[in-house]
Chain A
């Protein structure tokens, strides 16, 4: 269940978002893409998901070339920065969505959907909110629903775009720990984007530090902190 992006280039108009970026994420790893805004980290994540297509380069998922596979066939879990919960659906229906849109042949029965959504609600500890609508939830609750919704389709990789960006510091730290524990439990290959150095170093197995559309350094939190490869990395990590 590895992820591989090779020589990815992407520009928006005259802005070069990604300039020949390559990265390999091993099965079961939790990797952070860290960098200031405009460094290309979200573009890279969206290209891995299939929400954007690269100008050149290729994306391999699970050892197969997925560059031309459309987003709805990639079977990735994606958690959006502002959750993007379906506002007119209850928490239950939000989580069940990915199961309900499956073709008839592979769609689980109503009973099965119920039990699977029920299990996910337990996992995120929000069973009591299953009939609520997104606007009735707090930020942290929405975040967890978004995560459960992404996990419901049993994705082979999980991609998170600034998953804690819109939360206050306390909730942030709690969810962060919770995500790490969850990852240790289910070992799903995960990539998350953040601009918060402390968060990246605390949660991930490896950190990829990005700047101006290139990866400056990639390595374990201790390595990048102990041996910064470029002046940018040294400076970017210095305030934590």
Chain B
């Protein structure tokens, strides 16, 4: 029988990411439902906010430490986490479905002979069994999956399981220096996109489509996104035309997003676009064609000219933020 859940956390530049706390919260919840022990493990060098884990329900953190772990190394992280998972007899590993999680989870899966269930949006426990739900076909359908192997690696979609901080106890932190890590595959440089929030991690997204007519009009989209503390998204033709970078594309061949609020500006709502964003909590559509399919998924719509509506929306938001 399974005896331990390990939350495998992600840090970037010495900071645990928000999705790490979501992972901690979910691991703690599963542990109590399955009546298992739970621990967190994080690979890195100095980690400034490691103590914050205590408020999310895990009392013991293993810090696998090495100066070379400041940057991600799939081979190094894999070996360090595998060794600890084996030593601590963990049967469940939980990660966030981020770039790192998607890379690392399957490597750990093979090492531990554990099946992988990726990108879960719900995890149910009934009579001691775990059933995970994940989107397929970019969210056009969902599947319920159960593990068949004794060990299992699960990743959870960022932004779905909002962690609720409880009391704040300081966790017990066990630092383990990892000597001569395996750096066969390693990140040698990180090129940061200038200070912009990534669509996949944003809680609010303002997205523009072909109806924006040209890259210069994305000033409006950017201004609204900045005001709301959100990210800029785009439909595929906008990216293909080079108006916006590919990293902003939302949809079946772009990113799948589930923010609290998605504002679609001059986007028709083609099936491939809807696939990537229809699980957003609230959707607003601004489109001059009232028959546009985007309105079939929008909670609120304005069937008007984006160049008339957006400036007014920006002004109204400025008023409430003032």
B is bound to A: no
Q: Which residues of B contact A (CB under 8 A)?
A: none
Q: Which residues of A contact B (CB under 8 A)?
A: none
